[in-house]
Amino acid sequence: IPPKYSVSMVIGYLKGKSAIHIHRKAEGVKKGFIGRHFWSRGYCASTIGLDEEMIRAYVRDQEHLDKQEELDFTQNP
């Protein structure tokens, strides 16, 4: 990633464009993407490198973390 772009901006762009592409291909949606979600909120970035097991654990735990965050939000809006 060129230094003038932040990691979060590039990841956000990639997640947004890929989600639109997936909705178009898999669901046949042509427009009206507002309110549709495909990816979780966070991302993992490493400059020193992570081994495969650490990445798998991160991905595996995302569903649990997303559900917990959603539960916390509904209980304390």
Catalytic amino acids? 58
Non-local (6+) Cβ contacts of 24 within 8 A are 30
Alpha helices in the chain (DSSP H): 7-27, 52-75
If you compute the radius of gyration of the chain from its CA atoms, what whole number of angstroms results? 15
